[in-house]
A and B are shown apart, each in its own frame.
Chain A
Amino acid sequence: KNEVEQSPQNLTAQEGEFITINCSYSVGISALHWLQQHPGGGIVSLFMLSSGKKKHGRLIATINIQEKHSSLHITASHPRDSAVYICAVREAGGTSYGKLTFGQGTILTVHP
């Protein structure tokens, strides 16, 4: 079993729909990242969370440390949101900020 599991693996939506991508992890963490990768493109960090909830524009990320679970929500989805969304965790302890463990990614396609 992978340490970081995302669901669903593939998601297709119509423009305007509310989207949720889930991430579950099995280790103690100090932070969780949500990343976005467009086809052929580099990776952009959307959020870094250690507790609670963060919002940026139409994107909302939440984390429940006790349940080892995080969700990424996209409100009023748009075709430009089509991308791969990747959850990554930084394990608790130590001084390494870059040692991340990644989920397998969720491929999101939003149709006009």
Chain B
Amino acid sequence: KAGVTQTPRYLIKTRGQQVTLSCSPISGHRSVSWYQQTPGQGLQFLFEYFSETQRNKGNFPGRFSGRQFSNSRSEMNVSTLELGDSALYLCASTGTGLSYEQYFGPGTRLTVT
């Protein structure tokens, strides 16, 4: 099976712009989670989608949003970018059955200037 893919891998944006990141989970996985990793805060949970529904959301402002499509692919959007949004954004898909293992994508490195 192909792994979790994320596009783009690298992105440079300017303050005030918006950005959309994409994540394709492992085939058959219906749950996709998003995380932000920064040197100061480490890894933090953004949100989780399951069957096109947001199941949980972390403590991030409303500028951070996401969605999931019927094929389980997910996008996250950050509007009105701030310098502090510069981070590695990771998505992970969750296995089914008794496993519930998390499979991480390679991440999208976002730099806001």
A48 within 8 A of B: yes
Q: How far is the CB of B1 from chain A (nearest CB, A)?
A: 15
The A-B contact count (CB < 8 A) is 63
Contact status B31-A98, CB under 8 Å: yes
Complex Cα gap A96–B53 (Å): 12
Interface segment, one of A11-19, A59-67, A73-81, A99-107: A99-107
Number of interface residues of B (CB under 8 A): 25
Residue from the list B44, B100, B105, B106 in contact with A48, Cβ < 8 A: B100
**A: interface residue count bin:** 20 to 34
Of all chain A residues, which has the CB nearest B106?
A42
Contact status B42-A105, CB under 8 Å: yes
**A96 and B48 in contact, given A86-B43, A88-B43, A105-B42 (Cβ under 8 angstroms):** yes
Residue from the list A45, A86, A96 in contact with B55, Cβ < 8 A: A96
Residue from the list B42, B55, B90 in contact with A42, Cβ < 8 A: B90
Contact status B33-A33, CB under 8 Å: no
**A48 and B101 in contact, given A88-B43, A96-B55, A102-B44 (Cβ under 8 angstroms):** yes
Contact status A98-B56, CB under 8 Å: yes
On chain B, the residues within 8 Å of A33 by CB distance are: 102
Complex Cα gap A45–B107 (Å): 14
A31 within 8 A of B: yes
Q: Which one of A31, A48, A98 has the highest number of Cβ atoms from chain B below 10 Å of its Cβ?
A: A98
**Could you show 14 A-B contacts with beta carbons less than 8 Å apart?**
A42-B107, A43-B107, A45-B102, A45-B103, A48-B99, A48-B101, A96-B48, A97-B102, A98-B32, A99-B58, A100-B35, A100-B43, A102-B42, A102-B43
